[in-house]
Amino acid sequence: MDTEKNFELLQRICQIKKLYGLSLFLMLIVAFSCSRNVVVTNNKDTDGNWFNTSKSFHSVDLEGQPSVHQFFDPPGEIDIDRNLVDVVVTTPVESPSHYELDMVSGKKVFDHAYCKEGNVWTKEKNAIKLPPYHDSFIPKLLNQSKKPQRVIFFGAEDAITSKNPKQFSGLIKVRVISGVVEQYCQSYPCDTHAKWNSNILLIGVSQDDPKFAEVRSFKDLVKIIDWPLTKVFLENGRGRILGEENSFPAYKVYGQVLPSNALKFAVEKGHLFSLKELHTLRRSCESIYTDLEKKHQEMLKLEVDFPTYFLEFYKEKKDLFFACQEFVKGYEISSDMKAHWFFEYLRAFFFLNKDNYVYDCAKKQWIRNYRGENGTLVYNQEKELTYCSSKSLNVAFEKAVTYLSTYRSRGSEFYEYIEYDSGSYGTSEKIYNWVKRTGKSQTCDKLIIDRPIFPTDISWDYIMGVRESEEAKVQVYKKK
């Protein structure tokens, strides 16, 4: 396979720039035509196509069939002219727990349990308890922040809540009637408008629920549902920034978008994956992973020098690897356990890099990067890697996982490696992936505070460098 041709897709992904506000225009691969108002697919049962791939990356369900990726696989329809869209529900109305989609495994994971909570904005006590709406997303459509395009909707309660809310993944036809601007504060303080990340949140009703048959606008909707309660839940239900004594808002919503513009805006300002793009994305990333594991084996046999190769990989393919790990799962643990854990440690290294940390090879420490007086970053990871011996580079991977564990204690976004989404609230699904958490909590939420972010029985397998091996042989010779 001609890998370089497939890299074009990933290179475009890497060139995306994150902007703030609704002027942000996210394009991953090709521009979506404004005149293309209907995206047609066959609305049939979802087959597991995304994971129907080579054995190394093949994921199966309990029946031995390819697992369904809930974002990439569902054959949903988007009809902009009629404001109709198929969605996958993550958290049903009145659910006792909130679930999020893990993009890499393609499965829902438990995020937090709901509780009686006050309004962080007005300080009103017991303002919310359980969600008054269904939380969902549109398959194959990313929003401006490269996250699944979120939709909340009303209706069809019996059809949805009669299923197991943890595993429910059927497509629901929703009529979009409006949209609001949803803003998110990643880390405190968000004392200026620019520090709030903005996305459009679509609002709709079930197309098949007769109760909402005549609802065509936001004005119609608020006659049936309690919008003030809905708004309070949107701004409080997914948590807040908890301080030692006070808590601070993490979400806010405002404004309304006309139904004729809301869905069109979401599609044009986001990105809708085509099947061809998905195929190219998957094939390109698997090619990178396969080549990397081949070099890994050669390094273990001392045929390739560890620090020399890693520096080369970092120079040439780090941006591609950054893009891949957001969407495409690495080696399946049931296929190659050692390759799987090697990749998870590698991802930990790149997570820290992405969050503006640099590994100092001389000090054998991860350090926070910052901008100097001239506005440029003081440390350069590529330059630092030129000073790395095999010993110091091994320490980088060992400490990467340890350092990631400090994120949670600071209340910031953090990564948590999940094997099984276990527990009474969990989905019982096999995840085997680093899941990114917002770090935002409700005041009653203490379920995941003490859980380690990485399996305690897993450790980094030391990779000896060629030069280190030669030095060891010299030492043995001198002793003789």
Cα gap 136→157, rounded to integer Å:
13
The radius of gyration computed from the CA coordinates of the chain, to the nearest angstrom, equals 24
Provide φ and ψ at 184, rounded to 5°: -135, 130
Report how far residue 88's alpha carbon sits from residue 228's, in angstroms, rounded to the nearest whole number: 25
Q: What predicted TM-score, i.e. pTM, was given to this entire model?
A: 0.88
CA distance 6 to 417: 29
From the number of C-beta atoms within 10 Å of its C-beta (0-12, 13-18, 19+), residue 103 rates as buried
Span 345-360, mean pLDDT?
96
Q: Is 246 exposed, middle or buried (0-12, 13-18, 19+ CB in 10 A)?
A: exposed
Strand, helix or coil for residue 74: coil
Q: How many Å apart are CA 447 and CA 362, to the nearest integer? A: 39
In sequence order, the 6+-apart residues with CB closer than 8 A to the CB of 452 are 405
pLDDT in tens, 283-310: 999 999 999 999 999 999 999 999 999 9
Task: Give tens-digit pLDDT for 155-198.
Answer: 998 878 766 655 556 789 999 999 999 999 988 888 888 899 99
Q: Is the pLDDT of residue 86 over 90?
A: yes
Pick the closest to residue 275 from 1, 444, 30 (CA basis): 30
Statement: residue 33 has pLDDT above 70: no
Q: Is the pLDDT of residue 457 over 80?
A: yes
Say yes or no to pLDDT of 472 above 70. Answer: no
> Residue 451 has what pLDDT?
75
| Burial class of residue 33, CB neighbours in 10 A (0-12, 13-18, 19+) | exposed
Tokens of 297: 């084996």
Distance CA 169, CA 421 (A): 16
CATH code, 32-272: 3.90.80.10
Tell me the three state secondary structure of residue 72.
Answer: coil
CB-side neighbour CA atoms (13 Å) of 202: 34
Whether 10 shows a pLDDT value over 50: the answer reads yes
Indicate if the pLDDT at residue 337 is higher than 50. yes
Average pLDDT in the 398-419 region? Answer: 87
Confidence at residue 166, expressed as pLDDT on a 0 to 100 scale: 57
Render 118-178 in DSSP notation, one character per residue.
--TTT--TT-BSS-SSEEEEEEEEE-TTSSEEEEEEE--HHHHHTS-TTT---EEEEEEEE
Q: How far apart are CA 215 and CA 210, in angstroms?
A: 10
**Mean pLDDT computed over every residue of the chain:** 86
What pLDDT, on a 0 to 100 scale, did the predictor assign at position 335?
93
For residue 29, pLDDT beyond 50 = no
Q: Map residue 51 onto helix, strand or coil.
A: coil
The whole-angstrom separation of Cα 356 and Cα 369 is 6
% the chain with pLDDT above 90: 69
Q: Cα separation of 230 and 45, whole Å?
A: 32
Which of 36-45, 358-367, 398-407 is most confident?
358-367
pLDDT tens-digit map of 247-284: 899 999 999 888 778 999 999 999 999 999 999 999 99
Counting other chains too, the contacts that 28-35 makes at CB distance below 8 Å and 24 or more residues apart are: 28/142, 28/146, 28/271, 28/273, 28/277, 29/271, 29/273, 29/274, 29/277, 30/274, 30/277, 32/267, 32/268, 32/271, 32/272, 34/264, 34/268
Q: Where are the domains of the chain?
A: 32-272, 275-404+450-479
